[in-house]
Amino acid sequence: MVSSAQISESKFIENMEWINLNPSQSDNDEFVSKSAELITFHVYNYSNFYINNSGTKELEGEWDGNPFKEYFFIVYSYNQLNYKLLNKKFNKVDACTFSMKKLIESYMIVIKNNPKLRIKTLDEYSKLNESDLQKKIKKLVK
């Protein structure tokens, strides 16, 4: 049962799609609202689901000061749960690779409009094919 404070699984997926396609900074009310709904859904429905952020280790320090850092973090983190909902199964490396692919797609939207906000590691990841990206993520994910 979904209370008024919670969203449905389909609404989670819909919110995640919107977030993936609409890079936002933390002062964007719609982004903040949709992110809060994702977090609430996670806490109430999948409280035992561990979000693994070790796949972003190589970005640490590099995305500091970037006005989209919080956005990138939400994209990477909650696409893991999105992967689980879309696939009805969970494989940590596959989920983290899926999340990184979504992060790269969102990042490409950001730099199209803001080329000065480039992040070297994401530029390098964007050039990898899926197999090589998965190998890279596998080395990072605990």
Choose among 98, 99, 105: nearest CA to 126. Answer: 105
What's the start-to-end Cα distance of the chain, in Å? 34
Q: How far apart are CA 105 and CA 120, in angstroms?
A: 15
pLDDT digits (tens, 9 = 90+) for 114-133: 999 999 999 999 999 999 99
Is residue 1 included in any domain, yes or no? no
Is residue 29 included in any domain, yes or no? yes
Is residue 2 included in any domain, yes or no? no
DSSP summary character for residue 93? H
Q: What pTM did the predictor assign?
A: 0.92
Is residue 97 included in any domain, yes or no? yes
Is residue 78 included in any domain, yes or no? yes
Total number of domains in the chain: 1
Average pLDDT over residues 21-30: 94
Residues 103 and 55 sit within 8 Å (Cβ to Cβ): no
Per the structure, the complete domain to which residue 21 belongs is given by 9-140
pLDDT at residue 88, as a whole number? 83
